[in-house]
Structures are given as structure tokens and as C-alpha cells.
Amino acid sequence: MRNNIFILSLGGSLIVPGEVDHEFLKAFVALIRKKTQTGNRFIIVCGGGGVNKLYNQAATKTRAMTNDELDWIGIYATRYNAEFIRILFSDLAYGKVAANPHKKFKTKKPVIIGAGYMPGWSSDYDAVYLAKTYGAKTVVNLSNIDYAYDKDPKTFPDAKIIENISWTDFRKIVGNEWKPRMNTPFDPIASKEAQKLKLKVIVMNGKNISNLENLIDGKDFKGTIVS
């Protein structure tokens, strides 16, 4: 994967788990900056995280909300986070956030920051379409878990770690329906599209910076590979 375009789906739980995690962001930005110096390029799609949760909870306590309305709140949370991350990268990043995954930016900048697009689309789905638009073959889903499991480990103590799995078997686990704020290793609709495009998706813990560096360098890494 060396010197390729890396599509990174950066979970909002890493950016704003409750408060902005500046220590993680400092290490993450430093790693990406370092890796661009060896010719790598990155498209980083930002999730909504605690910002989305805060406003969604407030909205539903105010009145009954439709899924589309809650999605729009989440979309603008991702765009706020994306602008923040873009500014952290300074001169390294393209000057606009990629809010439409069908549109390809013509730039020599090694970093592009992406965000939410429209209701019904998760940041995972955006990442898959950005991979299609830019000709990438792999999406790296950075979240707060080391691996995907065959079922929710918080509910089922006997849940088993998945290291390698086919799209057919993975989609049996996550299902075929997307719901706003759904908690799955990878969005079911994004999974369907990724299988269609023959993409590889890697699920890994974004906080493990050295592990992410191993992946970028083509070394052994800890995570789940879906292909």
C-alpha cells in the first residue's frame, strides 16, 4: 500500500469523544504529515462524534425529529469537525472540504478532508464513494475498537474477534439496513457498495498511532480485514 492514496474514515469518537481529544489529534496530524513526505496521499473523512451526539440529544428533547432532520444535524457536525481538522493540517491540506464524494478535486495537496454529504449517508458511505472517485482500493475505518466482532462484545461476553472475513459473511453480521447513529463496525449500505466495488476495508483502532503507521508502511498491523 506504500505511496498509494489512503482513504481514512476518521471516527468522530476519536476527534470529539466528549471533549476534543487534542493529544490524539496532535499525534495523528504529525503521523500523516510524516507519511506525506514519502509520497503518500490521504483523504480523511470525518465523523460527527460528541458534537453530533450533543445536538441530536438536544433536538430530540425539544420535539419529535425525523431521521432526515437528525441526519442533517449529524452532517453539519461532520463538516464542522472536518473544517477543524483541515485547519490543523494547515498548508498540507486542500483548501476546501470534500462534502460531495462524487466530485474530484484537482490538487497537488497530499491531504484532502471529507465530511458528510446527504441524509441516509454515513461517513463510511462517503469514504467508500471517495475511494471510487479517486480510484483507491482500500478504506481504513479508524474507530475506538481494535477489531470488529461477530456480535456486540458489550452485550455478548462470548463475542469473537474477526481478523479476516469476506464481504458475504460480514454483511450477514451487519445486516442490510442503515439507521441514523447506528453502532456497527461499518455501515451496512456502505458495506454493500464496498463489496460491489471490490474494495478492501480495514477496521482498526485509530488511537494506536504506531499500528496505523505499520499499515501505511505495509507492515503487519492489528485490525480486521474485510474483502
Q: What is the pLDDT of residues 135-176, one digit of tens each?
A: 999 999 999 899 999 888 888 889 999 999 999 999 998 887
> Which domains occur in the chain, in start order?
5-226 (3.40.1160.10)
Would you say the pTM of this structure is higher than 0.75? yes
| H or E segment and range at residue 195 | helix 188-197
Q: What is the pLDDT of residues 57-96, one digit of tens each?
A: 999 999 999 989 999 999 999 999 999 999 999 999 999 9
- State the average pLDDT for the chain: 92
Calculate mean pLDDT across residues 37-56: 92
How many residues appear in the chain?
Answer: 227
